[in-house]
């Protein structure tokens, strides 16, 4: 399936048959769990883990979580038994194995210090320390969006880092990877190899995942309000994703 950008009016919900033979890639925040005011406020419930575990069995192991979160955080949230790609494709981990990730660069520590100085007198602006990156959140203070963006881009240029823009967030990290490269890498190896890649995500950071899935003969599923996207289908909210995945468990039994 060639990569295309589709207008919002053409998007339809995905049929459950799309999961037949799928290699399923799932974003976390805004896809499997609702967005929260702070990253620490997100909780993973046992029903979600159970659904994903059963669906992975139906897919012969072909299910991975691909997130901007670090592998360490994903494991702390309860995904330790899953194939993981963290920090937008910079980290990878199989169950029970140490993460394959670059070392944390001193530049990230320098940026984190400046981010904290920026956030200290701005209620609602938060700094998220990750294993090899750092994020500046302004969901609780959207008036600071422009200033946060200017700061992030200036620091990225000064330190040779990449800016990853997300929903009410600017993250600085090493470059050279994204969710699309994560999909491409995982599709070359077991257990994902041999399946048809399906990527489900909500953010602009997931567009690379949609594009990579399409390039490899699959498609993407956008979560949330319609927009121009490289995804081929849409689910309106997290609850719809959960229902779709539950349907998949039953349909593939």
Q: Please give the positions annotated as active site.
A: 27
Q: How many C-beta neighbours within 10 Å does residue 199 have? A: 34
CA angle 192/33/163 to nearest 5° reads 75
Is residue 205 classed as helix, strand or coil in its secondary structure? helix
DSSP assigned state of 204: G
Contacts of 35 (CB under 8 A, 6+ apart): 29, 42, 139, 167
Q: Where are the alpha helices (DSSP H) in the chain?
A: 46-58, 71-74, 106-119, 145-159, 179-186, 207-215, 238-251
Q: Position of tokens 């890639």?
A: 25
Is residue 162 classed as helix, strand or coil in its secondary structure? strand
C-beta separation of 142 from 58 below 8 A: no
Q: How many C-beta neighbours within 10 Å does residue 23 have? A: 25
Alpha carbons 241 and 236: distance in angstroms, whole number: 8
């Amino acid at each position: 399936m060639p990569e295309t950008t589709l207008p919002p009016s053409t998007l339809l919900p995905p049929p459950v048959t799309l999961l037949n033979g799928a290699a399923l890639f799932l974003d976390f925040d805004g896809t499997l769990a609702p967005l929260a005011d702070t990253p620490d406020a997100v909780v993973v419930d046992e029903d979600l883990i159970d659904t994903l575990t059963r669906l992975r069995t139906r897919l012969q192991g072909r299910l991975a979580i691909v997130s901007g979160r670090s592998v360490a955080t994903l494991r702390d949230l309860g995904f330790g038994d899953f194939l993981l790609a963290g920090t937008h494709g910079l980290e990878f981990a199989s169950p029970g194995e140490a993460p394959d990730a670059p070392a944390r660069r001193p530049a990230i520590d320098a940026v984190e210090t400046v981010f904290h100085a920026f956030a200290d007198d701005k209620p609602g602006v938060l700094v998220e320390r990750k294993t090899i990156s750092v994020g500046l959140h302004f969901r609780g203070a959207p008036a600071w969006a422009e200033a946060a963006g200017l700061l992030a881009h200036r620091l990225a240029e000064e330190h040779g880092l990449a800016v990853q823009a997300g929903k009410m967030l600017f993250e600085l990290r090493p470059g050279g990877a994204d969710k699309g490269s994560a999909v491409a890498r995982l599709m070359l190896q077991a257990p994902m190899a041999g399946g048809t890649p399906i990527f489900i995500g909500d953010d602009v950071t997931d567009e690379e995942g949609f594009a990579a899935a399409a390039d490899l003969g699959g498609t993407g599923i956008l979560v949330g309000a319609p927009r121009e996207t490289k995804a081929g289908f849409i689910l309106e909210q997290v609850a719809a994703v959960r229902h779709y995945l539950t349907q998949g468990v039953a349909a593939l039994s």
